[in-house]
A and B are shown apart, each in its own frame.
Chain A
Amino acid sequence: MGAAPATRDVTSYGMGLAAPLALFFLVFFVAPLLQLLWLSLHNDTAALHWGLGQYLHFLTDPFSLSVLGSTLLLGAEVTAVCLVLGFPIAWLYQRVGPKLQTIIILIVLLPLLTSVVVRTFAWIVILGRQGIINATLQSLGIIDTPLKLLYTQFGVVIALAQVQMPLMTLPLITALGRIDPNLDDASCSLGAGSWRTFFRVVLPLSLPGVIAGCTLTYAAAITAFITQSLIGGGQMLFMPMYLYQQASTLQNWPFASAISIIFLLAVLAVVSVFTTLGRLSRGYGGT
């Protein structure tokens, strides 16, 4: 039988099948983004004068910079909350029977598939002046006047954390499932306690999942514009709403384009930092 070089590989298909989608993306995804970049490099709305005016405006304007800063900070806070709450779920998932596993997965999946507006609406009901938290605290006599929970940073972070939790938990479950359970036993029998084993063995080995989860959660949290605007209210402005206001209300397309490009670059920077970390950690976790 030997070489048989002439026979076609029957297990793969030609790249030509990707052509329709590639063309579709070229026309309706790449071209628009290039045009966005082109427009952002113009100083006037009629796009007659080239220049970096829009970017200079953004980067020298304290207000714009504070919007960017608070958006990036928000992403970090939400990611941290999701990691702290999501990791124990993934840990628990590995220790229960198949029936409970399916239930945990479905609980985690449900918010991912429920409408974002519905999920956000639920948080308005919970955090509002007459909401559950305030009603409970008042009926227990702990507080007299309702706490302000809606339209606060705390409210936005907790609502976003719930909305984005599946994106953190699913990769963590996958990563923890790949760890050899013998390592856990080995560490314990060598005298390391459970906490030490967790921080020195389980956590490092699950780093690829942690990083994948953080990337998805971060990217989703900073672009989650419905939750940001409904829970944050008019007082708190984040990049997506800033972009929308400039584009839609003020019709300042070149500036909105520059905001978009800066926002895109910020997201890409974060994603590539996480990807690099992921590559570095693979030597650690890969088997």
Chain B
Amino acid sequence: MSGRKRTLEAFSFEFVMTVIAIIALIIIIAPSLVVLIVSFTSGFSLRFPPPGYSLRWYAELWNAWQLHFAAKNSLIVALWATGLSVVLGVAAALAISRSPRLSARLLDSLFMSPLVLPALAFGLAALMLFSLVGLPVSPLTLVIGHTVVCVPYVVRNTVAALAQLEPTLLESSAVLGASRIYTFRRIVLPLIRPGIIAGAFIAFMSSFDNVPVSLFLRDAATDMLPIRMWQDLEGKLDVTIAALSGVLIIATVALVAVMERVTGLSRRLTN
């Protein structure tokens, strides 16, 4: 009697948890699927389901030079910001990982703080500083601002990769007479490379998608893709944006698949 009650009780728990989990997974995935489907509409509205299917809005996208221009700017800024983040971030990660010093802990908190502080407040602050020292907003100020908010991802992933490194490997290498630089190049770097790549990938994606910092630090001539899309959406609901969203979703899925192969991204973010 009580045994049956127990199984019923266990079943009710597992049932409720599984149902909520599946609903939650559907809520997570549904928006992307909806946009993908709507982007192939043959109509002029974002009605779902679409009245028919065509590639017309993707063809339209081909001629949307404003979006091309904005995408090019976003890409260039993201590449520079990622490059700068990797150079500065990996060096800093080498210094602060494994160090028991208080200064290392403090620097770690400092380098991570852009992740929690409102980026919009930082954007405004950076704009005020640049205008105080007479540096006009330009692609350069954009790269600087983006680097500040993207470098935490590189530092965090590199520190995590270094933490997994066996110290005995470095000691053996030193005992066998290898110089520190040689050890770094031949042992440390190959082992932490997936971590660096994962960090750089997330930094790149977050720079490409950044709005709050770009809003303050871009000049009038430098249109950025997410801002262009945001402003288009504030005005009217354009189906071209759905096609662009489709392109971005497919590109993201493809990049994530590649990154999963190269760096084991999913394990990296749950350990």
Chain A positions near chain B (C-beta within 8 angstroms): 10-18, 20-22, 24-25, 28-33, 35-36, 39, 84-86, 88-89, 91-92, 102, 104-111, 113-126, 128, 130-132, 135, 158, 161-162, 165, 170, 173-174, 177, 188, 193-195, 198, 215-216, 219, 222-223, 225-226, 229-230, 239-240, 243-244, 247-248, 253, 256-257, 260-261, 263-264, 267-268, 271
Contacts and interface: CB of A to CB of B under 8 A. Distances in A.
Contact of B170 (A10, A39, A267): A10
Contacts of A16: 95
B211 A119 contact: no
A10 B211 contact: no
B88 A21 contact: yes
13 contacts: A10-B171, A15-B99, A17-B94, A25-B110, A28-B129, A28-B147, A32-B128, A89-B24, A105-B269, A107-B29, A165-B24, A248-B216, A260-B121
Contacts, number: 287
Given A15-B101, A28-B144, A35 B125 contact: yes
A124 B237 contact: yes
B271 A88 contact: no
Contacts of A121: 35, 229, 233, 241-242, 245
B45 interface: yes
A194 B144 CA distance: 52
A71 B53 CA distance: 41
Contacts of A243: 118, 120-121, 124
Nearest to B205: A113
A201 to B, nearest CB: 13
A120 B89 CA distance: 31
B34 A132 contact: yes
B248 interface: yes
Nearest to A13: B94
Nearest to A177: B270
A50 B170 CA distance: 56
A21 B216 CA distance: 22
A268 B27 CA distance: 30
A116 B253 CA distance: 15
Given A15-B103, A194-B13, A230-B230, 17 more contacts: A10-B173, A21-B155, A85-B27, A88-B20, A115-B229, A115-B248, A118-B249, A125-B242, A126-B48, A130-B48, A193-B6, A194-B14, A219-B116, A222-B118, A256-B124, A261-B121, A263-B121
A116 B214 CA distance: 14
B31 A106 contact: no
B215 A248 contact: yes
Contacts of A229: 234
